[in-house]
Structure 1
Amino acid sequence: MKPDDLNAFLSIDDGFDEYLEYIEKITLPCVDIKLLSGLEKSTGQESRFGGTPFLPNNFIWPTHDKGEYLFLGQINFDEIQNGPADLPKTGMLSLFYAYDENGEIFWQSEDYIKGYYWENTKDFIDYTKKNTSALSKKISFTNGVDVPRYEELRSDWPFDPELLFELSYGGVFSDDYILGYPSHCTLGYDPTPEGGQWMSLITLMSNSELDWCWHDGDKLMVFIEKDKLLNKDFSCLKSDAG
């Protein structure tokens, strides 16, 4: 959400008034994602979820021991104008997720999410593949800010963490966004991986139109190590859902 909107929301509740300075210090930049109408005609380059990915013509579709990955979506960083400093300024990120009909693959499994980044997409093509969803949704981006909405994400709360309930379910934050803090529906722990400098890369809500169902209709949270993000290296991602 926008910084002014965050301040306005926090000021409504007297419980937050004296802690606005603290909350401002722990605020992180994020990019809110808005799902638009179905994408009927593609130029290939646009950011989108589902549908046919835009990939090198020699791309080898990723597989796992239970089958093939499914295409999650692609982010064209050129479309994020004046975005957070940690993100690439240009290039394309394609994301895939492991899936099997028997549900044997767990969202915490190694390489559940695979990411591929290319600086230049000049010679890319629409990569037709049998395991891509028929529906594709174009997405748009808005730069914003995010704050932790769960007691487990910090150990230095200066106020009663029960107040965070209003942040979690106040309807003022996007369910789909890049960077920021991880958010979930049902977990009782910090999903950020231990060891290294892991940070939230993208958080996505389950979506029946796109056939996404993370943890019985909750959220998928994908993480990356900060140094790898700064080096535009998306080859090692971790994930959780809940």
Structure 2
Amino acid sequence: MTYKLENLGTGSALRQRLEEDLSTAEIEALESTIQPFIEIDVAPSQSSQAPTVGQSRLGGFPDLPVGFEYPRLKGKPAVLLAQINFAEVPSLEEFPETGLLQFYLADQPLQEFDYRFDLHQQNDAAALFFPAPLDDFIPQTHNRTQSNNPFIPTHHRLQFERKLAPATPFDTEFADLTIALEDFEFFGENYETALGELADSDDKNLITALNLLGGGGHKLGGYPGFLQGDPRQDIFPTTDWDPDEPFELLLRLISTRDVNVAGFHLYFLIKRSDLLRRDFSKVVFYFDR
């Protein structure tokens, strides 16, 4: 499906502003990259409000099937980063419609995480997927008295909304656009100028648009919106790199007032074929800031 800038929900102001710096061909090329994603809104929960079994959450403890051993990473109980119940999530192509997806991190400072990005050696993070139904799931706890990695001290409630956004300047898809538009030598520079002008605007629609164009905040699917260049080809091991099937964004979380992830952006990436098979055993964890 082909989308237009107006489909981003920011009115006509965005097109009018971009037309000041970009040609019609450049805007159409940017529009060609627009794709849907799920925006995640985080709302801190009151400590007295226990989450219901299977409820989506950030932090806290997971829900697991009866008899399922609590996940461990590096010999210690793992830290639950997020639990996503897809029954609560708007439909997104290729993603599950039901089931519970959980993301875990090792109980250690983020600065000590493995930076090798080897699919067969990563042991600092993990993802678990449980297809519905969730009838035999029970809330979990463990005896960890103190965590070295209390990213989110208590659980936060999550809400989901389907939105649209184009590729960001650091995504490989944007680089492909620049190559395709070789007749427009300064496309990338002009686009960065346009983004800078958006940042100076006091128009709420343009501020919302800037957030979308820059990669947004917490999200499922869509473009990763890396902060320091796209690592998927240069950093990931060549034995696992396939230009015909790159790693795509599964989950992204960023540091906010309510989400303490030590100033980092956290990314969980997956190959499309694995996502379609609902095989989350090869999910790759990456972070930058």
Q: What TM-score do you get using the length of structure 1 for normalisation?
A: 0.84
Displacement after TM superposition at 1:43 (Å): 1.1
Instruction: Indicate which of 190, 197, 200 corresponds to 2:230.
Output: 190
Displacement after TM superposition at 1:60 (Å): 1.9
Instruction: Indicate which of 6, 10, 14 corresponds to 1:9.
Output: 14
Q: Residues of 1 paired with 2:284 and 2:11: CA distance?
A: 29
Compare 162-171 and 113-122 and name the one that shifted more. 162-171
Cα gap change, 1:144 to 1:152, in 2 (>3 Å): closer
Instruction: Indicate which of 69, 81, 90 corresponds to 1:60.
Output: 69
| Partner AA of 1:115 in structure 2 | A
Superposition map of 1:110-149 within 5 A: 110-120=122-132, 121-129=134-142, 130=144, 134-149=153-168
- % of aligned pairs identical? 21
Displacement after TM superposition at 1:218 (Å): 2.6
Cα gap change, 1:112 to 1:147, in 2 (>3 Å): farther
| Partner AA of 1:84 in structure 2 | L
Cα gap change, 1:233 to 1:49, in 2 (>3 Å): same
Cα gap change, 1:232 to 1:10, in 2 (>3 Å): farther
Structure number, greater radius of gyration: 2
Q: Residues of 1 paired with 2:16 and 2:277: CA distance?
A: 38
Gaps of 5+ in 2: 200-206
Superposition map of 1:97-112 within 5 A: 97-101=105-109, 103-106=111-114, 109=117, 110-112=122-124
Instruction: Indicate which of 192, 203, 206 corresponds to 2:252.
Output: 203
Counterpart contact for 1:70–1:98, Cα < 8 Å = yes
Displacement after TM superposition at 1:160 (Å): 2.4
Cα gap change, 1:102 to 1:135, in 2 (>3 Å): closer
Q: Residues of 1 paired with 2:220 and 2:71: CA distance?
A: 23
Q: Residues of 2 paired with 1:99 and 1:16: CA distance?
A: 47
Q: Residues of 2 paired with 1:180 and 1:77: CA distance?
A: 16
Displacement after TM superposition at 1:61 (Å): 2.5
Cα gap change, 1:20 to 1:63, in 2 (>3 Å): same
Cα gap change, 1:136 to 1:6, in 2 (>3 Å): farther
The match for 2:222 is 180
Q: Secondary structure at the match of 1:11?
A: helix
Q: Residues of 1 paired with 2:54 and 2:253: CA distance?
A: 21
Q: What TM-score do you get using the length of structure 2 for normalisation?
A: 0.72
Cα gap change, 1:114 to 1:6, in 2 (>3 Å): farther
The match for 2:204 is none
Cα gap change, 1:143 to 1:234, in 2 (>3 Å): same
Instruction: Tell me if 1:160 matches 2:187.
Output: yes
Instruction: Tell me if 1:87 matches 2:100.
Output: no
